Amino acid sequence: MRDAIARFVNDGDTVVIEGFTHLISFAAGHEIIRQKKRDLVLCRLTPDLVYEQMIGAGCARKLVFSWAGNPGAGPLYGLRRAVEEGVPRPLEIEEYSHFGMVARFAAGAARLPFLPLRSYLGSDLPKVNPLIREVECPYTGERLATVPALNPDVTIVHVQRADAEGNAQIWGLLGVQKEAAFAARDVIVVAEEIVLQSVVRSDPNRTLIPGFIVKAVVHEPFGCHPSFAQGYYDRDNDFYVAWRDIGKDRARFESWLDEWVYGVADRAEYAAKMGERRAALQARVELSAPVNYGY
Amino acid sequence: MVCRAARELRDGEVVFVGIGLPNLACNLARHRHAPNLVLIYESGAVGATPERLPVSIGDPSLVQNSLAVCPMTDVFYLYLQGGRIDVGFLQGAQIDRFGNLNTTVVGDYQKPKVRLPGSGGACEIAINAQKVVVIAPQSRRSFPARVDFITSPGHVDGAGARGRRGMPGRGPVMVITDLAVYGFTDGEMTLESLHPGVTLEQVRQNLGWEPRVAAQVATTDPPHAEELRIIREELDPGHLYI
């Protein structure tokens, strides 16, 4: 992880760590904090705790998003602090809806300058974000909203399993990772497990991202906590609830950062420090029915 | 409020489940009278049957035993914009007389009094779902005559406004609060029933405008023992929502 972040994430880059509640690479976010990357433009549908932590650590100058809360547990106080008080540094925001962000990644992935969608007309969002525009359909004449392509410098996705070349397989909630990866200049794949390519080839329908668009592959078990990895470990809802109080108080936030990010060398150390809590989140086994790829 | 909202859902309907109380109401309906209700979450779970009440709308319990799990591009382009959603079920921080919802800011956008989470998928759900049902605890502050910011358009400024903007769905058809149930007449909220023990005066005190009132105002059927049992024992034993 250290090498991948050092090599592919530069100060000032547009960085995407995607994963809709599921498979959020907190491990990558923490490594970016430890390497003191600065002036990043962070884009994600839901900033979640991972971007709140990165913003609170001073890594970002701008946030592009569509829903900024602590999912299921209230507001993101640290994010508000950055936007309203400029602490630890001023943060610019650019706001869409989920469909808008999804369409931005889809346009970026398809190397189109924009995509139309049926949203926004009648909403006040275009009034506060001039990049949400309208176009007249050349076929029907109707007015459609548009959003511009989003092409990140680097997209980081956590997956359940990948081979050494980065052929990456995900199951469970798929979010917008495929589009975010294809839209990016550089892709970093972080995997719970590194498997032989024969494992990937045994179930090719499950591959979301092909290795040939991937620049780096990182093996990082438990890399999503407090987010989850279906089939590996559950969402740590207690942590999300507890974060409300940590995020609210700048001093508590800083001491949390000192203990759990700066105070550990890497994710393996973080996971070890979690101790029994990690075991309690272990997923139970629920296997799907196998399919026959024979012909 | 939750029980009344749940009863609005019919067995077999396809419902796009918003964050918060809609999540509880939809799962109550599925447990009680609508076992074939198809719950779709913006996280991509289609036909979800969560065995625990999901804390967030991206919980792993939405995945296991669902009918399908799809990328979010499919959720928005194919299911929602494709016209496959019968009911969009939303909660708003603020709602006004035309059913416009605000989940973005209280006060001015640049200098907000309270910054709220933003749209998520609510803006496009409000525009594209065949119809929209809203659940919202009622107070004068949360029910102003005009919301500070339209995140998710209802009937915008009255009858015909949605059609002029090319919105595919009919928009809000019902608002359920902790005091009353409202329908819509010419795009405007209209009081249709009062919850047991609630007076018209109480409703007026908790509303930022003088409401339209239906010719016949009914009394809302109160929560049934079985509905309360399902909520308290099966769905939300940890009092996460209620």
Closest CA to B54 of B235, B228, B177: B235
pLDDT tens digit sequence for A36-88: 999 999 999 999 999 999 999 999 999 999 999 998 788 999 999 999 899 99
* Nearest residue in B to A96, CA atom: B119
Model ipTM value: 0.96
Q: Which residues of A touch B63 (CB under 8 A)?
A: 172-173, 230
**In angstroms, rounded to a whole number, what is the distance separating the alpha carbons of residues A21 and A276?**
23
* Nearest residue in A to B73, CA atom: A102
Has residue A282 got a pLDDT over 90? yes
- Cβ of A75: how many Cβ atoms within 10 Å? 17
Q: Is the pTM of this model over 0.90?
A: yes
A69 domain residue, yes or no: yes
* Average pLDDT over every residue of A180-192: 98
Cβ contacts of A159 within 8 Å, gap of 6 or more: A23, A168, A169, A170, A177, A189, A190, A191, A192, A208, A209
Q: Which domains does chain B have, with CATH numbers?
A: 2-235 (3.40.1080.10)
To the nearest whole angstrom, how far is the Cα of B151 from the nearest Cα of chain A? Answer: 5
> Please, which pLDDT band fits residue A165 given cuts at 50, 70 and 90?
very high
- The CATH number of the domain holding residue A21 is 3.40.1080.10
For A46-200, list the strands marked E by DSSP.
Answer: 60-65, 92-95, 114-117, 133-136, 143-148, 154-162, 168-169, 186-194
B8 tagged catalytic: no
Residue B183, phi then psi, degrees to nearest 5: -105, -165
> Please, which pLDDT band fits residue B16 given cuts at 50, 70 and 90?
very high
pLDDT tens digit sequence for B224-241: 999 999 999 988 888 877
> Please, which pLDDT band fits residue B56 given cuts at 50, 70 and 90?
confident
> How would you class B28 by CB atoms within 10 Å of its CB: exposed for 0-12, middle for 13-18, buried for 19 or more?
buried
Residue B97, phi then psi, degrees to nearest 5: -65, -20
Cβ contacts of A121 within 8 Å, gap of 6 or more: A134, A143, A145, B127, B153, B165, B166, B167
> Can you give the pLDDT at residue A193?
98
Has residue B242 got a pLDDT over 80? no
A179 domain residue, yes or no: yes
Q: What range defines the domain where residue A214 resides?
A: 2-96+151-280
Residue of B40, B43, B78, B236 for testing the chain A interface, max A β-carbons within 10 Å: B43
A102 domain residue, yes or no: no
> Please, which pLDDT band fits residue B57 given cuts at 50, 70 and 90?
confident
Q: Which residues of B touch A117 (CB under 8 A)?
A: 76-77, 81, 124
A209 domain residue, yes or no: yes
> Can you give the pLDDT at residue A139?
98
* Average pLDDT over every residue of A282-286: 96
A120 domain residue, yes or no: no
Has residue A259 got a pLDDT over 90? yes
> Please, which pLDDT band fits residue A92 given cuts at 50, 70 and 90?
very high
Number of domains in chain A: 1
A11 domain residue, yes or no: yes
Average per-residue pLDDT for chain B? 94
* Nearest residue in A to B45, CA atom: A173
A138 domain residue, yes or no: no
Average per-residue pLDDT for chain A? 97
